[in-house]
A and B are shown apart, each in its own frame.
Chain A
Amino acid sequence: MDFALNEQQEMMQTMARDFLAGEYTDKVLKAMVKDDKGYTPELWKKLAEMNLTGLAIPEAYGGVGDFLDLTIVLEEMGRACFNAPFFATVVLGAGAIVEAGNGAQKKEFLPKIAEGKKIITLALPEQSGKYAADAIKMKAAKKGNDFILNGTKLFVPDAQNADYIIVAARTLESKDLQNGITLFIVDAMTSGITVKPLKTIAGDKQAEVVFENVKVSAANILGTVDKAWPHIEKIIQKAAVARCAEMVGVGRKALDISLEYAKERIAFGHPIGAFQAIQHRCADMLIDLEGSRFATYQAAWRINENLPAAREAAIAKAWVGQACRRIVSSAHQVHGAIGFTEDHILHHYTKRARAYEFSFGDVNANLEKLAAL
């Protein structure tokens, strides 16, 4: 049992933290929330130069580090309330290709991702918003050596910024709904694809992607036709844990600024942090935060070790989703009216916490998973 980061991991953490502290100031955060793309090509280039876009991609394809390193960096990104197609490209896109792609596909896409040359995302949920096999209804009809895709995907991260969209569609009607799903990697410019950005309260870039008679070659199938669901389950697990890491960072920032405020704000002749009600609230925030970190890293470690992680990932997502929500709510309570203003930084974290909570499995869905295990 060892809760320490090793030297390499500590370096990764410091590097990411310093980079984001320098590059992603509150001013940049506010601007990117408003911006349509949500990031600048200059920033993306810098991420690539620091090898961050190659995280958890196998070295053979120009990548660096493992899933734990990625988790550590994602925590720092959460802390900065970072907006960029990083989660989409590195966690989802690269993750799906590493998980399900063949040698040729890995060679084709992974180095480009690592070098920061391509943005990729994964289109999974449909109208129900669920991340489950029975929620995938979009059809892909076979036509010779191609498939014709028809349907609508929702809440696709950074689809408006993506060069490629990996999409899950049904190629076979089967009584067993986990059978018959296929993953396709599609050029975002393919005729028939319409990307409609979705404006969320969180300023994160999500989109609706409509597929109208979109022709995709069978060569662009990731994995085996009809058999994608086991891969998708693994991707959902990784994505959920990645979101947990980001939420831990969000929570850390919310707690940090609350402490700062509680120590400075004077009322009744004392810093408000001296009052028990505030102290107890902050204590609960720390408990929530530390528990979140432990649960997240346990799941991340198991994924990294290729151990079964369904239970631990569900526990992490169920806990962190609620814990982060409690932390940001408490942060508002500590800050009083000033934290309620648009000008203050806190609401960005609050809104982002909710976005991450619902991304790749909300609290209820994960509790249901656990109850069934």
Chain B
Amino acid sequence: MDFKFTPEEEAFRVEVSDFLDKEGPQEWQKRKVSFFDMSGQENWIAIHRDMAQKLGARGWLSLHWPKEYGGQGLSPFYRLILREELAKHHCPGYHSLSVDFVAPAILLKGSDALKKRYLPGIASGKVMWCECLSEPGHGSDLASLETFAREEGDCFVANGQKIWTTYAHFADWTFLLARTDRQAQPNYRGLTFFLVDMRTPGITVNPIINMAGHHDFNEVFFDDVRIPKENIVDGVNRGWYVAMALLDYERTSDLGYAIAGTLLNDIVEYARELDILDAENKRRMAELVVECEVTRLTHYHVTWMQSQGKVLNYEAAMCKLLGFESIQHVAEFGMNVFKHYGLLSDTSSLAPLYGRISSCYLRSFGHSMEAGTSEIDRDVIAQRGLGLPRLR
């Protein structure tokens, strides 16, 4: 049993911290921009892309990939350290959709040709991806999705609509889960995992503004979009298994505790400056410190399991649930501390922390729904973790 990082890991942390101090967007560090708050910032996409390439140039977007595919073969703790420091330094650039969703899918289930073609772009930070999964009628019940791709010569032709597609408005590529067999029983046996160029004719992206006033996600229409057969990962009708394989990475990618912890620090630091923390706030602050720490340890446990090559079961769902809900709790705390001031939008000069409080609070309503709802997470923990029987 050991609860400390190795000297090499600590050295990496120092290296990352120094680099981000210098190279991270200084304005964002001043404004304490939070990971889920990025899209409220001016010119954010360009800043994000620029930082992604800086990280990519250091090889930091492929730390744990096998060396033969351009990675450094390092333990997943390195990725964790990088993301902890990115959170602390209020720094963008880590496009998790590419690095932690698509890349593992390709690494685990893709052919050598796909690996050679797509991984370098992701590792360099130059190519950014989005995911086309949820549909207006199918979210939690993803297996029932309807977007259909028919076989036509050396292509599949896709028709349908996806929704809640984060960053589809600037992504270069997307992965698409579409139905290729309407007769398959159970229904998830008829799904295929495609890699699609976002510039393919027939793709239309419409913005959906969230309640924080940010443009993060979109609806994406597919009208006779031709996808080469070679862009299928793992084979026709194997898509569900690819999606499931990457879910464990997806759920453990964003460090909820790190984002929550940084936000908590920023709130408390500023509140102390203004001397507005009452006894109730202090108690709640201590509770959140405890919650963030427990969430952090839970995430470290999962990362340790991954470093040992252990197959995750319910642990990823537990991580995501705890991490994302802790951000919600901290964001709510921020509102409670600043009260009226917390209501001010980020355009008001009186807004505390450059508008972080209201912005993060509004954005936080999505955390218990995105990347799997808290309800689904609890279902997974109960059924896979505790062996309780399924009704549906």
Contact = CB atoms under 8 A, between A and B. Distances in A.
Given A2-B1, A4-B1, A68-B1, A284 B290 contact: no
Contacts of A6: 1
Given A1-B304, A2-B1, A270-B391, A283 B290 contact: no
B382 A279 contact: yes
Given A1-B2, A282-B382, A319 B282 contact: no
A290 B318 contact: yes
Q: Interface of chain A, helix or strand or loop or mixed?
A: helix
Given A286-B385, A287-B318, A1 B379 contact: no
Given A270-B391, A274-B390, 12 more contacts: A2-B304, A259-B387, A271-B389, A273-B389, A283-B385, A286-B318, A286-B382, A291-B322, A294-B298, A298-B3, A318-B286, A370-B289
Interface string A261-299: 011000000110111101110111011001110110110
23 contacts: A1-B4, A2-B2, A3-B304, A4-B1, A6-B1, A263-B389, A276-B375, A280-B382, A283-B381, A286-B385, A290-B301, A291-B294, A294-B300, A295-B297, A297-B3, A315-B290, A319-B290, A319-B293, A367-B283, A367-B290, A368-B286, A371-B283, A371-B285
B388 interface: yes
A135 interface: no
B126 interface: no
B5 interface: yes
Closest 9 CB pairs of A and B: A279-B382, A294-B297, A283-B381, A291-B294, A283-B378, A367-B286, A2-B2, A273-B388, A370-B286
Contacts of B375: 276, 280
Contact of B1 (A5, A273, A283): A5
Nearest to B390: A274
A297 B1 contact: yes
A273 B381 CA distance: 13
A278 B300 CA distance: 28
B5 A1 contact: yes
A292 to B, nearest CB: 8
A325 to B, nearest CB: 14
B388 A259 contact: yes
Contacts of B5: 1
A310 B252 CA distance: 29
Nearest to B382: A279
Contacts of B1: 2-6, 9, 68, 297, 301
B386 interface: yes
B383 interface: yes
Contacts of A318: 286-287, 290
Nearest to B292: A315
A302 interface: yes
Query: Counting chain A CB atoms within 10 Å of each CB, which of B5, B289, B300, B386 scores highest?
Result: B386
Nearest to A280: B378
Contacts of B289: 315, 370
A280 B318 CA distance: 12
Interface string A235-275: 00000000000000000000000010011000000110111
A368 to B, nearest CB: 7
Q: Interface of chain B, helix or strand or loop or mixed?
A: helix
A279 B388 contact: yes
B303 interface: yes
A130 to B, nearest CB: 17
Nearest to B279: A371
Query: Counting chain A CB atoms within 10 Å of each CB, which of B4, B298, B322, B389 scores highest?
Result: B389
Interface in A158-207: none
A268 B381 CA distance: 23
Nearest to A367: B286
B177 interface: no
A294 B301 contact: yes
Contact of B287 (A4, A290, A302, A367): A367
Nearest to B315: A290
B388 A274 contact: yes
A315 B379 CA distance: 28
B297 A298 contact: yes
A8 to B, nearest CB: 11
A286 B379 CA distance: 12
A370 B290 contact: yes
A263 B318 CA distance: 22
Contacts of A290: 298, 301, 318
A292 B291 CA distance: 11
B151 to A, nearest CB: 39
B77 interface: yes
Query: Counting chain A CB atoms within 10 Å of each CB, which of B301, B318, B382, B389 scores highest?
Result: B382
B321 interface: yes
B261 to A, nearest CB: 13
Contact of A259 (B77, B298, B386): B386
A274 B391 contact: yes
Interface in B1-22: 1-5
A295 B388 contact: no
